[in-house]
Amino acid sequence: MHRKNKLTRYNWADRVFLTVDFIVLFIFFLLIAYPLLFIISASFDSANSTLSASLIPRQFSLEGYRAVFEYEYIWIGYRNSLIYTVLYVVISLTVTICCAYPLSRDDFKGRGIIMVMCLITMYFSGGLIPSYLIINSIGLNNTLWAVVLPGALSVYNMIVIRTYFRTQIPSELFESAQLDGCGNIYYLLRIVLPLSVPILAVIALFNAVGMWNSYFSSMIYLQDRNKFPLQLILREILITNTLDPTTLIGNEGLLGTLMERKNLMKYSVIVVASLPVMIAYPFVQKYFVKGIMIGAIKG
Amino acid sequence: MVKEKTKIISPKGLWDQRVVKEVRRNASLYVLVAIPILFLIVFSYAPMYGVQIAFKDYRPSRGIWESEWVGLRYFRQFLETPNFWKILWNTISLNLYGLLTFPLGIIFALLVNYLPLRRFVKTVQMVSYAPNFISTVVMVSMILQFFDARTGLFNAFTGLFGMEAVNYMGRPSAFAHIYVWSGVWQGLGYGSIIYISALANVSPELHEAAIVDGATIMKRIWHIDLPSLLPTISILLILRCGSMLATGFEKILLMQNPMNLSVSEVIDTYVYKQSLAAALPQYSYSAAVGLFLAVINLCIIILVNYITKWLTKNSLW
């Protein structure tokens, strides 16, 4: 990444280029940052249902956040999303490692055919309807397993991990472990996995963000509102405009009609929902970049 | 994949013994690998086998295997739907429009690469990755709010220049622009990471030699950077084209409203509405439409792979 920045003398053409370069990047920066800052500012503004492009709240208030905190389903959704995300990360990592480790071993007969089985699924899939029918027919409908299990084995991630096992862990380690009478499972748990923490962390992060942000499979498989993840509740509030009126009983006087309530929360709910990812973002950012690079090596 | 030659050479009896020995020696590996194989069978191969309902008259009471074969009836039904050309055109045009923005990631990477103000560049980069982590639901609701006629940020902004407030989400002509450019807003920075690091790997000697020869930045981009990026660009382009007609479905579904449906109905949303979201789900018909799309997609990836291989010698296979 570090290119030596010698003070090269730029000629006039280069100066024009760099000036334009700076202006374009600065405009781009504003285009990205302004809407993000606007949402945060508007979430503290109780007058956010009038037209304004200002970044300073006109009527500073926490009413929006209060409306969010009082809407019970957001917390149910939050809890569900956390459960699904943790389960998904654990299951997908386990399954992917179970596939990647044997396939990384040269002395494992039959890895060729298993690899082909995996690769085929990267190019062909049954599609939405057959998958839906199969998942229903094995009784996963309206359970969290329909959300968590189907995408758990990502062949792409499996290949990335397998490549890491093959290239980053010296095979001498296995030989000496074998001499010490150490079996495959023990070797995997005690030597391979601890040495692979960087790549496993990256993939866990990718999977966690993916699951936290997903809505479609929950939407088609879950009918019980108490099982809805946060994204489905957000979809109701922000896109289909269906608030559950029963949660308003006793509060009408405080926060007015359904529509007013929706207007009040529309920005704060975005902030609350994106908070976990955004808080983690600065810390994990470099891992994501690293993850892309690892993926790119074996694309 | 290493070919196993030993089986053919050894006599059959010996081969059986070897299998037993191998299974015994690597027993734990076979147990491990059984778990992912189970996942593959249940969640990938069973649905692939289930694709046959596209050629059957699927009745839930009879199940997938017992239903009657009807050949290509449902494919014909789709081709004869009055909306067929409309839906196909929407699918293709939205994706082609999206494809046109493909070079922007490369341009962004080049701009980032040449600007000497490192701290400023780092900040821009870091901020530009952030939208990638916003979920589809939140992204679409941001779009709905920003383009709202009464309270939207976009109308507030255009209002500064004396333009009238417009309900953009109700305008069919605005849909494609909003869909594609919101995608650029969300994915550009993150998508450029791969180019930025490819640029960092370009040998500095090439640039130094070019500078000595008096080459301008534009010339260095054209003669050094772009040729070095070519393999990365071709692979990403093939991958992008391969999933071309299938991308953005979840976002489009959320962006749809009765006013923009004439331009926003694509094959995937149509499949969803005819089956899972329908009061009377037409499973076979929807599976046929889905399969139709999958076949077109496969043809596109083969074609694009062939073309890039011919042009640049880079390909997926």
Q: 3-class secondary structure for chain B?
A: CCCCCHHHHCCHHHHHHHHHHHHHHCHHHHHHHHHHHHHHHHHHHHHHHHHHHHHEECCCCCHHHHCEECCCHHHHHHHHCCCHHHHHHHHHHHHHHHHHCHHHHHHHHHHHHHCCCHHHHHHHHHHHHHHHHCCHHHHHHHHHHHCCCCCCHHHHHHHHCCCCCCCHHHCHHHHHHHHHHHHHHHHHHHHCHHHHHHHHCCCHHHHHHHHHCCCCHHHHHHHHHHHHHHHHHHHHHHHHHHCHHHCCHHHHHHHCCCCCHHHHCCHHHHHHHHCCCCCCCCHHHHHHHHHHHHHHHHHHHHHHHHHHHHHHCCCCC
Task: Specify the pLDDT at position B304.
Answer: 85
- Using 50, 70 and 90 to split pLDDT, how confident is the model at A7? very low
Q: Do B51 and A101 touch (CB under 8 A)?
A: no
Q: How many CB atoms lie within 10 A of CB B158?
A: 16
The answer to which of A139-148, A289-298, B37-46 has the lowest mean pLDDT is A289-298
Segment A213-231 shows an average pLDDT of 94
Q: How far apart are CA A141 and CA A135, in angstroms?
A: 7
Specify the pTM.
Answer: 0.88
- Using 50, 70 and 90 to split pLDDT, how confident is the model at A125? confident
8-state DSSP, A35: H
Q: What is the ipTM of this complex?
A: 0.86
β-bridge pairing B56-57 and B68-69? antiparallel
Q: Where are the alpha helices (DSSP H) in A143-229?
A: 145-148, 155-168, 171-179, 184-187, 193-195, 197-213, 216-221
> Scanning every residue of chain A, which has its alpha carbon at the shortest distance from the alpha carbon of B50?
A130
**Cβ partners under 8 Å of residue A213, min gap 6:** A231, A277, B133, B134, B135, B136, B137
User: Which residue is it, tokens 């067929």?
Assistant: B84
Using alpha carbons, list the distances in angstroms from residue B250 to A162, A235, A283, A291, B305. Answer: 31, 12, 28, 24, 26
Task: Specify the pLDDT at position A256.
Answer: 57
Domain with CATH 1.10.3720.10 in chain A: 66-297
Task: Specify the pLDDT at position A1.
Answer: 40
Segment A146-155 shows an average pLDDT of 93
Q: Which residues of A touch B210 (CB under 8 A)?
A: none
Q: Which residue has the higher pLDDT, B314 or A6?
A: B314
In angstroms, what separates the C-alpha of B258 from chain A's closest C-alpha? 12
pLDDT in tens, A151-204: 999 998 999 899 889 888 888 888 888 888 888 888 999 889 999 988 898 889
Segment A40-54 shows an average pLDDT of 78
Mean pLDDT of chain B: 88
Segment A285-294 shows an average pLDDT of 69
pLDDT in tens, A61-109: 888 888 888 888 899 999 999 999 999 999 999 999 999 999 998 888 8
Q: Who among B111, B120, B133 is closest to A24 (CB)?
A: B111
Best of A107, A129, A219, A242 to substitute, by most chain B Cβ atoms within 10 angstroms, is A129
Q: Do B271 and A129 touch (CB under 8 A)?
A: yes
- The C-alpha angle B164, B147, B173, rounded to 5 degrees, equals 80
Backbone angles phi, psi at B68, to 5 degrees: -80, 140
Q: How far apart are CA A239 and CA B142, in angstroms?
A: 10
In angstroms, what separates the C-alpha of B93 from chain A's closest C-alpha? 22
Task: Specify the pLDDT at position A193.
Answer: 94
For chain B, give the number of residues.
317
Q: Which residues of A touch B30 (CB under 8 A)?
A: 102
Structure tokens belonging to residue A153: 């084995």
**Cβ partners under 8 Å of residue A139, min gap 6:** none
Structure tokens belonging to residue A131: 């998958």
Q: Which CATH number fits domain A66-297: 1.10.3720.10, 1.20.1560.10, 3.40.630.30, 3.40.228.10?
A: 1.10.3720.10
Q: Do A101 and B29 touch (CB under 8 A)?
A: yes
Tell me the domains of chain B and their CATH numbers.
6-71 (no CATH), 77-312 (1.10.3720.10)
Q: How far apart are CA A172 and CA A163, in angstroms?
A: 17
Task: Specify the pLDDT at position B188.
Answer: 94
Best of B6, B26, B39 to substitute, by most chain A Cβ atoms within 10 angstroms, is B39
Q: How far apart are CA A265 and CA B4, in angstroms?
A: 63
Q: Do A99 and B36 touch (CB under 8 A)?
A: yes
Task: Specify the pLDDT at position A8.
Answer: 56
Mean pLDDT of chain A: 84
Q: How far apart are CA A140 and CA A241, in angstroms?
A: 29
- Using 50, 70 and 90 to split pLDDT, how confident is the model at A231? very high
Task: Specify the pLDDT at position A2.
Answer: 43
Burial status of residue A169 (CB atoms within 10 A of its CB: 0-12, 13-18, 19 or more) = middle
Task: Specify the pLDDT at position A9.
Answer: 66
Using alpha carbons, list the distances in angstroms from residue B190 to A83, B193, B195. Answer: 28, 6, 10
Which portions of chain B are predicted below pLDDT 70? 1-13, 317
